[in-house]
Chains A and B, each alone.
Chain A
């Protein structure tokens, strides 16, 4: 299996009036060809910032990528020129976003917005781009695409707009599609349709996907591998079966415990993790999960555990072994 993206020690901060927001704190991972990596975590844990950093789309200032590399096709995306970065964006690495209602430009037609990338990266003429846009819109399941290509975003529903975003993202046959909570703003039935569509297109096109969500339920049926993010760190990373069947980080266990399950005993209360994630401006010295952890030991308060391999393809950042340890509180 070839690796298409190697992220090493990626670190992004925001220098604000209140202090330095440590949004992403040195995350590392590989993304293999055609693989789908899910990144899961509570809102505000740095998921968006971590992928926006890859695309170098962090607002600077106040943001700054303070360290790390992202190797893609033999070059470090963090080091190439702005022009080279632009030729990657929307072309080899594409991105779709959370809110389809606000992610499309209200004053430009759908055809124009999808066609733009085709003209830019594929060197198509206006009419070629238009023709290809219609095909792409058909591919993502927009009915009578040829008529709708000249419509404006407000004439589409939320689900249809997200399909347009997907068409736009896939227009230049990217190696990697980054999807930042693409279903969060949609209602449940539409969510399922979008997930199914992406699965179908992935099988046809074969791009690798980074799928971000705060909902462990959504990635279960989609991802090959899942990384759990907490306070700007990756705290656990494993194949999807292992992560759900054999979670090793107390935070992951807590998250899974709070998932509604069809087979749960009736009347049993959902467990949720008490407390709040740490303030990213004043990160604790030790394990970021310390304040909320039921397994914590003294060492956790002063030393932050690195990710270590606990089983094949299974990495966890925790000092203890939850398979043997007992909760300490």
Chain B
């Protein structure tokens, strides 16, 4: 197990170098010129050349990339082109804080509500509540964020105006309700579906019969003997959860005008702000890698058969 963790951790920097190289290359050979984007209508070739020189954009690819790597190693992610002379890192940190709050709240709600709903559906298999859950899951998975978002806005900001249509006053404000709800739909649907399937399978296992034959209360049978087994396969979809959150975050932050990483990246894409784009991409890759590592470690904690392997 320890060797496995170490091996996984050693892979992390390799992965990051590969990701940074690909993004950097895409940006370098990409069709758009950041200086053009920056200057817009005031374009002047002389000034443009000067700016390009200032940012080191006139140097060969290899040189630019190596310089970049060396700076990244010192946690210097360069300066934003759009926000002139502002270090990317300084721009990033407050936005990252917003995004992390949004995602933690959404995954917490999505996962816990999803699991609870899945357990109830499985225990009430075939009854009305189970059918509602199954329908809700299909619905929740079929409707994309960019459709559900405007629907929510229309319902709760216009028709019954109880919530602000956008902006951000912190995670514990009313402005967070809709975005958190929106972002939690995906994980909620997936966890409800998987928990239901897992519980249905586990409740039919021999060891559940053994637990009942011991005289345990049904509540104990479900929570102690069944749930743990049913949740093990769910850990494999934690990686997926991360993917859905990353995707959802970009859209949600853009729809609700939330000053997080998603909106920042969206803006950077429009402005061809390479240093920002590359840094955000790296960040997402790190999040993915750590998320999957975390899921694997949890697997080991929950399943003794893997822990000892």
List residues of A whose CB falls within 8 A of some B CB.
55, 57, 86-91, 94-95, 97, 99, 102-108, 113, 116-117, 120-121, 152, 154-155, 165, 168
Contacts and interface: CB of A to CB of B under 8 A. Distances in A.
A104 B225 CA distance: 10
Given A87-B215, A91-B215, 10 more contacts: A88-B215, A90-B216, A102-B207, A106-B303, A108-B224, A113-B210, A116-B214, A152-B304, A154-B305, A165-B210
Chain B contact surface mostly:
helix
A269 B207 CA distance: 41
Interface centre among A89, A105, A116, A165 (most CB of B within 10 A): A105
A97 B210 contact: yes
B181 interface: no
Interface string B58-81: 000000000000000000000000
Nearest to A118: B214
Contact of A104 (B210, B224, B303, B305): B210
Interface in B204-218: 205-207, 209-217
Contacts of A106: 207, 229, 303-305
Contacts of B302: 107
Given A152-B305, A154-B304, A154-B305, A105 B215 contact: no
A105 B211 contact: yes
A94 B302 CA distance: 29
Contacts of A55: 213
A323 B215 CA distance: 47
Interface residues of B, number: 22
B225 A117 contact: no
A86 B304 contact: no
A90 B214 contact: yes
Given A102-B205, A102-B207, A154-B305, A107 B213 contact: no
Contacts of A87: 215
B232 interface: yes
B95 interface: no
Nearest to B212: A57
14 contacts: A89-B214, A90-B214, A91-B215, A95-B213, A102-B205, A103-B209, A105-B229, A106-B229, A107-B229, A107-B304, A113-B210, A152-B304, A155-B308, A168-B214
A93 B44 CA distance: 92
Interface centre among B207, B211, B213, B302 (most CB of A within 10 A): B213
Contact of A116 (B216, B229, B303, B304): B216
